[in-house]
Structure 1
Amino acid sequence: MDDHDKNNILVKQVSHALEMPLHWKVQRLEARWFIDNVYEQSECFNPILLQLAKLDFNMLQAIYLDELKQLSRWHENMNLVEMMGFTRDRLVEFFFWNVGFAFEPKFWFCRKWIVKLGELITIIDDMYELHGTLEELVLFTDMVDRWDVNAMEQLPSRCVF
């Protein structure tokens, strides 16, 4: 590898670093960027280490895909999109956001519950901002304040979860 190639790699690294601070980036995506754009391009990379790094990345992607499939099944079984057609569907967005800060496989439980919570908060937010009438929202708020599931019968059918 000549000096020109080394300079190109260095220029690529510096430009990438200046795009956005490292602590704002998704760590696993940064690792993949480094593997593809720096390590693999250097003259002294270890092919076995490179293969293991790519395998690790791909295995984690498979884990994420399985988690997303499970969350999608939960989402479909809840039937909230059909019942509450006015809400935004942000499941994948919430999942990707969670992978950004809790990327290790051991944090699956954390990712799962934050995604579910985000989906439910979005539905409630959409109900208050876009869909519910004042009377419906007063009833719903009262029901939640009292934490009374039986009060759901007082809500119009279009507002019931």
Structure 2
Amino acid sequence: MASDSDFLSRLPAVYVGAGALITGAANEILLVKPTYKPGWEIPGGSMDPHEYPRETVRRELVEELGFAIEPGRVLVVDFSLARPERPRPSIMYIFDGGTVDARQRAEIRLPADELSEHRFVPADELDGFVPGRLARRLRAALIQREAGGVAELENGYAPGAARGNLREGIDTLR
């Protein structure tokens, strides 16, 4: 008979990350540009072994922006299968980071060794900055912020859509 440790060693390990949907007064989305990889991201990062997702985003917001923002409710939970550049599945959380005012925008201080710049981007321009799966997550987060719900996604799509039923998946988010 197999032991608990044998059973547990066969279970998949997953990456877990948590980020925040932070918007400006015109509902544009705060993006940050990492120095350690190409492209743009939302503020947030990988969960440490001793953290819960909410603690992760709280810590990352202080580290990346230079001031504390208390995360609101979860807007999106997105599960992605392993892919060549990421050999394990991942679970990504997006929390509501609220809307920053002009004073908070001026207070943003990026850690130079981690982030090179930030900008507020309208939702309809996200595809020019972030990968498709993150753009889908962010659009779902905006919808859920208004609707008061939580989007459960698979690779940025409504459940089942990532496997081929795209139109139905997009319609269920509206």
Greater fraction helix = 1
Q: Please state which band the TM-score falls in when normalised by the shorter chain.
A: under 0.3
In the superposition, the TM-score normalised over structure 2's length comes to: 0.22
More RCO (CA 8 Å, sep 6+): 2
In the superposition, the TM-score normalised over structure 1's length comes to: 0.24
Greater fraction strand = 2
